Chains A and B, each alone.
Chain A
Amino acid sequence: MDWRQLWEIISAPDNVPIVALIPLLAFYIFLAWRQANANDQLIAQLEGDAALAKTHHRKAWPFQPGWQKEVHVWPFLLRMEFLAAIIVTIILMVWSITLNAPLEEPANPNLTMNPAKAPWYFLGLQEMLVYFDPWIAGVVMPTLIIFGLMVIPYIDTNPLGCGYYTWKQRKFAIATFLFGFIVLWVSMIVIGTFIRGPGWQWFWPGQTWDHNRLIYEVNRDLPDLFGITSNWAKGVFGALVVGGYYAVGGLVVHALYWRHNPKNYQRKSLLQYSLMMFFLLTMVALPIKILFRHLLHVKYVWITPWFNV
């Protein structure tokens, strides 16, 4: 094991945000979970006491008698926020004093770096390029991400859980978020930073990033696996598979959603529901494709002259 290599990556000034991201993410999820848990218990208690539920707006558990039912933003929230602002200022100042901007040599068009990596916040997108063609990974997917994020308020019909931590009241939303953020975004950044070495090859942590490494890997298109040769047939087959995915996946999700989340289902219009379905299935498609690639060496599923999926 080449721990020195790992240390070199971890200690690079470029990678400070990513390295920090991992423990911070864990910490804040833990914090959120603790708050949500407390709130959920309070909600349970309040639901048992109708009178209290009417007047109670402050979510704190265990709630002590005599505590105020409401606290004002000023000064109680703002003083905390200001303190946080000071601490963040300190962190940023120390960071900027101790670590210089990681500038490199002048760009040389005759000699590109290897691996050539995007800024850390784009590494997820770069990693997607491995699995989809540039049109899908570079244009369609980012657009869908933005639209998907924009659309959330309009398809979120759940009136509960606003302004406080809760799990029980927003299971679906939080699970979807965690899936999208941690699995699809953060983990891909982590892979791009720590796993992808020279030639964008997959190096496990502790493996030396050897520029001379040679691996043998053949990725085939899904139609090829089924012996389809004609281009037309490939397009039709791919469309069928993708369409089938959306149809079958939609049915499965529908069954689950309908069963576990009937209230929200009922609150949604058809447009809201189908939008949600589309974005959710597209999101899930990404890790499925990643698994297809890594486990089955499938390059593309749907091949057309204009795009490949």
Chain B
Amino acid sequence: MAERPVPQDDPVVSKSLAPHYVIAMVVLMATLFWALWDENFGQRPWKTFQQEWKTRYSVFLERARSKSSDSQKNVEGSSEYQALKTAYDQINQAASPHAREINEKLRDLSAQILAVQNIFTDRRAYVSALTYSIETETSASSRQRQQRNLDKYKQVVTTVEYPDGSRHDFNYDQLEENYNDLKNQRTALGTELVEVLKPLNTAKEKLDAYVSEHMVNLTPAQIRGLLNKTEAWSPQIQQINVAEANIVDRCESCHMGIREPVQLTAAAMSLRGKKPDEYARAFTSHPEPELLQTHDPEKFGCSPCHQGNGRATTSVEKAHGNYEHWLWPLFPKGNSEAGCQTCHAADMKLVSGDIEWQIINQGKDLYRQRGCMGCHRYEGYDKEPEDLLSIAQQIKQLEQQKKESLKQSAELMKQADAAASNEEANRLNDHAVALKVANSKVDLRIVQLDHASKSLLQDMKKVGPNLKDARLKLNRNWIPVWLKKPSAFRPTTKMPDFRLSDDQIKTISAFLWQSALTDALPKHQPGNAAHGKDLFETRGCLGCHSIGEGEQLEGAHFAANLTRVGEKDNYDYLVRWVHNARQRTRPYCPYEKKDIGPEDYKKKNLPYAFDLDHSRCPNDGHELQVQNMTVMPSLRLSVQDAEDVATYLVSLKRREPSEYPDASYMDDAELRNEGKKWVRHFGCAGCHEISGLEEEGRIGTELTVEGSKPIERLDFALLTEVAQRGGHEPITDPDDQARLPEGPARKPWYDHKGFFEHKLAEPDIWDQGKIKPETEKLRMPNLHMDKDQVQALTTFLMGSQESGLPLSYKYQPLDYRRDIQEGWWIVQKYNCVGCHQFTPGQKTALMSVRRYRDAQEQLPPQLLTEGARVDPEWLLHFLKNPALNDSDTNRNGVRSYLQVRMPTFSFSDNELGKLVRFFQALSRQPLPYIPEAPPPLTAKETEMARSLFSSTAAPCLKCHATGDPAHDRTATAPNFLLAKQRLKSDWMERWIIDPQAISPGTSMPSGLFKRENDRWVFSGPTPASFQGYDKDQSKLLVDYILQLTAEEQRRVAGAMDTHTRQVAARQPPRRWPLSNVNVLKNRVSVLMKFQTTEEVQNNMTNKMTKKLEIAILGLPLLAGVFSLAACGKKEPAEEQPAASTPAATTPATPIDPATAATVSGTVKFDGAAPKPAKIDMSQDPNCKGANAAENLVISDGHLANVFVYVKEGLGNRTFETPKDAVTLTQIGCKYSPHVLGVVAGQTVKIVNGDPTTHNIHPTPKDNREWNESQAPQAAALEKSFAREEILLPVKCNQHPWMKMYINVVKNPFYAVSATDGKFEIKGLPPGDYTLAFVHEKLGEQDQKVTLAAKDSKTVDVSFKQ
């Protein structure tokens, strides 16, 4: 090839490929670098996250550090810290010379040791090696030779040069001795040093502990630690690995802030001046740190609760599991509580600490309340029928076993008679006897099972009413109208819409009508509807039922809305229902599967009587269902009251029952079978008791693990593509569309959430476009739920999963927590939460009822610490019979003064036990409870305790009932005589010291006792006999109360009343608000049935007048208090503008005093001034103030007590909280001033200028509520209100007429109109403002005003009645 010249134009030979190669290589290298980049960053996006985290978190910490050191300075400024610091310094000074000395010695010693050590260890190694050779040498001679070598070596002398330059010669043994000696010296010195430094370290620990205890945030030192950690951070995967549960979660590789000890919000982690971005949202700390306390991330990881792909690190989508092939994507934000359900499916209510998990709890509750469980089985819900079935089977088996045993034993005895030998006969006889004994054991077991089945029958409830009673209860013509669309008749009903055709409605209603019982009900005369209405509203019906429609709707949705009951219900039935809803027309025998009638009883010559005590079947002796399967309890109303209530309810209607179109076809027997088919088809028996369908199974699919069903198994039918693509919402009905929690679908919704939400919003959605015969159409009815309910149920279903976690991760506690778990099922089942508060902040249905808005003390008691409060034995007794009385049951057993009635639920033994254990467990009380007898009191102690008990500073019997009907009419607390049986003494002691802490908002005041010299001492004045008594006075009072006898109580009460009775006749009759009169009237009418209404009224007012008291103590009023009260009103308004400076956080232009303007004016009242109402102060003889009411103070057409403030116009200016306190005085049993303005956070000083105990009780909406008693001459209370609130009412629990309003505002520009109607606001910067004028009775008026610099404008307003 080389010889011949190559022609230039041969392309293969002559063309150079260099450019191709260059380009290819460049591209290859670029690809290589791309691959490297991808490997390092593209596939590891968390690295970028972590870099970003480092910068943002450092910035955040720097900011936090400066704030923290400010607050540390504050802490360090306190005298306690200074004392600790001085102590520390002193110890430091004392200890440091000695410590320094020891340290020097140690240093020298260490250097010496080092010098010896080098040589010694080297020689020791040689010795050890030689020793080893000797040990392993086989011949004796060589061993000896080696030994000689060793001895020789040990004698060799080496020189050690010490650090100070001196030299010493040692042989091996000396060297060893010297070395050990030095080391011992060092150890001794070390111990000494520790001893010397010990007090110093203790002092230092105390000092540090003080700082960290008193800092709200982290201390600067802690923050510095975090900063160092953050700065030293190098990107790495953060992984939680729990091998046993197969959890590998790397979520924290991006979510770096989740477990940081500071609270990080998205705003705090944003770049300065920017909106929170993806990073900021990822870096927030966990919103519920206390959840992490109970679910340690090191054990639980993240994905068991949140789901998502914990292992993925390559992209956000992957990690959150938001891709097709990850089956458990992150729960969306609105459904995040689904994670709770995966392990807490056995809980009815999830409460962590005292915080409820609303969404999942609502879901759990809805599943039962809406009757989902009637069609769909779910583990744990409605277990009774299944248990009952299994018990029935067990009984059958045992009976069979018994029969066989009997037969066998007879056989054995026969064999024994014929036995060849005596031994054989004895053996056979023994066997026969053993069988008989075994049989008696079987008998016992059967009795037990029967007992259990009684409980189960009692516990078994249906969501809907018993349709066997349809004929007795319902207006026949109403039934088809109802079935057509129940929600049209009653929008809040639980009965869903079944989309029935007219034919179906006809046949179904015919079947129901014809299958119902035809027994006759006793006839009742119409009662008094007005009285019935009153009973209905006061007895607590609204805790479960609602009434009214639209705006007027009031009450709870647990049970039916009764607004149109009159159109459908039969009066006689309603009377029976109200009197005792559980009363059944005929008992049902689950063994014979039929309703037992009088004929069955007659056959056995038994009276036709059945109730919980007569629940055996006359035919077979087994348990009967003797109750209606409803949770509706008996309110223990008399028959007459029941008639009144029923009369009232029947009067509620929009149209007359007779106006309904005739539906006589319901008697057509031909429709019956067709109707039964449809009733069965739609699973009506899931929620209702229907004759002939008692044993019907559930028609729906089981939902226990519905959330982990593969998506392919959820039938989206023809909408699969639509769901996968999104963008078009198949639900077109606007009502149904409104049920979708996130509105019409925009994004693809082919997932569990999408399926459940759409199914719940429009249950027949998957039939869209399908051609199906009527029987194959989707049966699920429309539950007409709202968005939130759909969201809650969706969350519930999404969390219903078969989790891959080990069983130990499921919440299946065995200790007290199990009792809590079981208890919530019952509490929710009977809607105890409709009336009682179980967790702080839980709203009961009654709270929102108008009647109770201003009468919180009329609400049923809070049960926050019920378990700690009451004796479990007593509780059991009480729950069985809340009247605590067998003969007089038309009353409350404990709080007889409450209108609202604790009903009798007829709990089964099973439920009673669970409930009592629940309350005990909720308060962590050990079971069993053995009450301790109170120590007997000496005569002197009794005397002392009595003086406390009847003290005017804490007149216990003023509020607590005594059993004397005259007194109890005004009582607002239980009788002390119950305490012995009912209460636990340690709880009582804590209660009288601080009731507000146990039951916030209670009328029982706090502050009755104060801490003095490590014991509790009465806050009010005490007689001389208390001198030298060194035990807890609160304990003394409790012991006294526990030993209180009825006689003693009467004596004390009598002594307290003596004075009042004398003047009673002279006082005018006390005027009661009308509603109260009604309330009292009712109660009295209950007590005295024979009187007419007028008689009752007269009687009552007479008795009331006896209660009136006159003033007996006239302490001179403190002049100083007067002066304080007089100037307290204006003081803040004048001084604050000067003090106000813009706060550091949001800078605002400072107000220039030179340009400040003033607004002033007069508040007028249009029209004739009504006469001021008179207040009756006779209740407390110490009250001698003017008795004109202050709610409308008008003089010469000028209105006082109008609060004027700048509502708008100050922009985002912030103002410093004024340092000076405003004063609120109680003088003449009135609050002075009547209207008070205060800046949020400013101190309010509350002074008692009266010779009587006051009880200050603000009832705010947006601030913290408190309630404290203030004895005469007690120190002033200092309080503040953190949040803005206009017209915050303050009352006094001692003196019901005392009322005033505090107005908490954000800026210092406010005033209160004086008696001449004048007001003035000074120091306003120029601008446009809205002034608000607020009056407690006459409402609010707004006025706009524009102020120029140094302006002085007048704004007049006038109010009208």
Q: Are A89 and B17 in contact (CB under 8 A)?
A: no
* B10, B325, B713: the one within 8 Å of A68 (CB): B10
In this complex, the member of B6, B31, B713 whose beta carbon has the largest number of chain A beta carbons within 10 angstroms is: B31
Does A105 have its Cβ within 8 Å of any Cβ on chain B?
yes
Q: Are A111 and B710 in contact (CB under 8 A)?
A: yes
Residues of A within 8 A of B6 (CB): 68
Does A259 have its Cβ within 8 Å of any Cβ on chain B?
no
Residues of B within 8 A of A72 (CB): 1
From known contacts A80-B17, A90-B28, A111-B713, infer whether A68 and B7 are also in contact, taking CB-CB under 8 Å. Answer: yes
Does B912 have its Cβ within 8 Å of any Cβ on chain A?
no
Does B24 have its Cβ within 8 Å of any Cβ on chain A?
yes
Interface string of B885-929 (1 = CB under 8 A from A): 000000000000000000000000000000000000000000000
Interface residues of A in 78-128 (CB under 8 A from B): 79-80, 83, 86-87, 89-90, 93-94, 97, 103-105, 108, 111, 114
Q: Are A105 and B326 in contact (CB under 8 A)?
A: yes
Does A76 have its Cβ within 8 Å of any Cβ on chain B?
yes
Q: Are A90 and B9 in contact (CB under 8 A)?
A: no
Interface residues of B in 1-49 (CB under 8 A from A): 1, 6-7, 9-10, 12-13, 17, 20-21, 24-25, 27-28, 31-32, 34-35, 38, 42
User: Quick one: closest B residue to A105, CB to CB?
Assistant: B325
B1149, chain A: closest CB distance, angstroms = 57
* B9, B17, B20, B28: the one within 8 Å of A64 (CB): B9
Does A21 have its Cβ within 8 Å of any Cβ on chain B?
no
A97, chain B: closest CB distance, angstroms = 5
Does A67 have its Cβ within 8 Å of any Cβ on chain B?
yes
From known contacts A103-B325, A208-B721, infer whether A66 and B7 are also in contact, taking CB-CB under 8 Å. Answer: yes
Q: Are A76 and B12 in contact (CB under 8 A)?
A: yes
Q: Are B7 and A105 in contact (CB under 8 A)?
A: no
Does A253 have its Cβ within 8 Å of any Cβ on chain B?
no
Residues of A within 8 A of B12 (CB): 60, 68, 71, 76
Interface residues of B in 230-281 (CB under 8 A from A): none
B143, chain A: closest CB distance, angstroms = 69
A289, chain B: closest CB distance, angstroms = 33
Does A263 have its Cβ within 8 Å of any Cβ on chain B?
no
From known contacts A86-B24, A97-B38, infer whether A111 and B10 are also in contact, taking CB-CB under 8 Å. Answer: no
Residues of A within 8 A of B20 (CB): 83
Complex Cα gap A104–B7 (Å): 59
* A66, A68, A97, A104: the one within 8 Å of B35 (CB): A97
Complex Cα gap A90–B27 (Å): 7
Q: Are A4 and B325 in contact (CB under 8 A)?
A: no
Q: Are B10 and A90 in contact (CB under 8 A)?
A: no
Q: Are A83 and B713 in contact (CB under 8 A)?
A: no
Does A210 have its Cβ within 8 Å of any Cβ on chain B?
yes
Does B712 have its Cβ within 8 Å of any Cβ on chain A?
yes
Does A212 have its Cβ within 8 Å of any Cβ on chain B?
yes
* A66, A104, A108, A211: the one within 8 Å of B710 (CB): A108
A244, chain B: closest CB distance, angstroms = 47
Name B's interface SS. Answer: helix
Residues of B within 8 A of A2 (CB): 721
Complex Cα gap A104–B721 (Å): 21
Complex Cα gap A54–B446 (Å): 113
* B13, B326, B712, B717: the one within 8 Å of A76 (CB): B13
* B24, B34, B718, B721: the one within 8 Å of A83 (CB): B24
Complex Cα gap A83–B20 (Å): 8
Q: Are B31 and A93 in contact (CB under 8 A)?
A: yes
Interface residues of A in 225-246 (CB under 8 A from B): none
A6, chain B: closest CB distance, angstroms = 13
Residues of B within 8 A of A210 (CB): 720-721
Complex Cα gap A190–B42 (Å): 33
Does B725 have its Cβ within 8 Å of any Cβ on chain A?
yes
Q: Are B35 and A212 in contact (CB under 8 A)?
A: no
Complex Cα gap A79–B327 (Å): 51
Interface residues of A in 31-73 (CB under 8 A from B): 60, 64, 66-68, 71-72
Complex Cα gap A83–B12 (Å): 14
Residues of A within 8 A of B327 (CB): 105
User: Quick one: closest B residue to A106, CB to CB?
Assistant: B327
Complex Cα gap A173–B617 (Å): 95
User: Quick one: closest A residue to B38, CB to CB?
Assistant: A97
A89, chain B: closest CB distance, angstroms = 6
Complex Cα gap A298–B895 (Å): 89
Residues of B within 8 A of A66 (CB): 7, 9-10
User: Quick one: closest A residue to B715, CB to CB?
Assistant: A212
B637, chain A: closest CB distance, angstroms = 57
Complex Cα gap A104–B327 (Å): 10
Complex Cα gap A210–B717 (Å): 10
Residues of B within 8 A of A212 (CB): 717-718, 720
A211, chain B: closest CB distance, angstroms = 6
Residues of B within 8 A of A87 (CB): 24
Residues of A within 8 A of B35 (CB): 93, 97
Q: Are B720 and A67 in contact (CB under 8 A)?
A: no
Q: Are B28 and A86 in contact (CB under 8 A)?
A: yes
Complex Cα gap A208–B7 (Å): 62
Residues of A within 8 A of B24 (CB): 83, 86-87, 90
In this complex, the member of B326, B713, B720 whose beta carbon has the largest number of chain A beta carbons within 10 angstroms is: B720
User: Quick one: closest B residue to A113, CB to CB?
Assistant: B712
Complex Cα gap A233–B175 (Å): 111
A82, chain B: closest CB distance, angstroms = 8
Residues of B within 8 A of A104 (CB): 325
Interface residues of A in 1-47 (CB under 8 A from B): 2, 4
A187, chain B: closest CB distance, angstroms = 28
Residues of B within 8 A of A60 (CB): 12
Interface string of B758-801 (1 = CB under 8 A from A): 00000000000000000000000000000000000000000000
From known contacts A105-B326, A111-B712, A210-B720, infer whether A86 and B25 are also in contact, taking CB-CB under 8 Å. Answer: yes
User: Quick one: closest A residue to B16, CB to CB?
Assistant: A79
Complex Cα gap A64–B14 (Å): 14
A85, chain B: closest CB distance, angstroms = 10
Residues of B within 8 A of A79 (CB): 17
Q: Are A211 and B720 in contact (CB under 8 A)?
A: yes
Complex Cα gap A93–B712 (Å): 36
Complex Cα gap A105–B323 (Å): 10
A84, chain B: closest CB distance, angstroms = 9
Q: Are A94 and B31 in contact (CB under 8 A)?
A: yes
User: Quick one: closest A residue to B713, CB to CB?
Assistant: A111
User: Quick one: closest A residue to B24, CB to CB?
Assistant: A86
User: Quick one: closest A residue to B4, CB to CB?
Assistant: A68
Q: Are A83 and B17 in contact (CB under 8 A)?
A: yes
Residues of A within 8 A of B712 (CB): 111, 114
A68, chain B: closest CB distance, angstroms = 6
Complex Cα gap A89–B9 (Å): 31
Residues of A within 8 A of B38 (CB): 97
Residues of A within 8 A of B326 (CB): 105
With A67-B7, A103-B325, A105-B325 given, name 14 new contacts (CB 8 A). A60-B12, A64-B9, A66-B10, A68-B6, A68-B12, A72-B1, A79-B17, A83-B24, A93-B35, A94-B34, A97-B35, A97-B42, A212-B718, A212-B720
Contacts A/B (CB < 8 Å), 16 sampled:
A64-B9, A64-B10, A66-B9, A67-B9, A68-B7, A68-B10, A76-B13, A79-B17, A86-B21, A93-B32, A93-B35, A94-B34, A97-B35, A103-B325, A104-B325, A210-B721
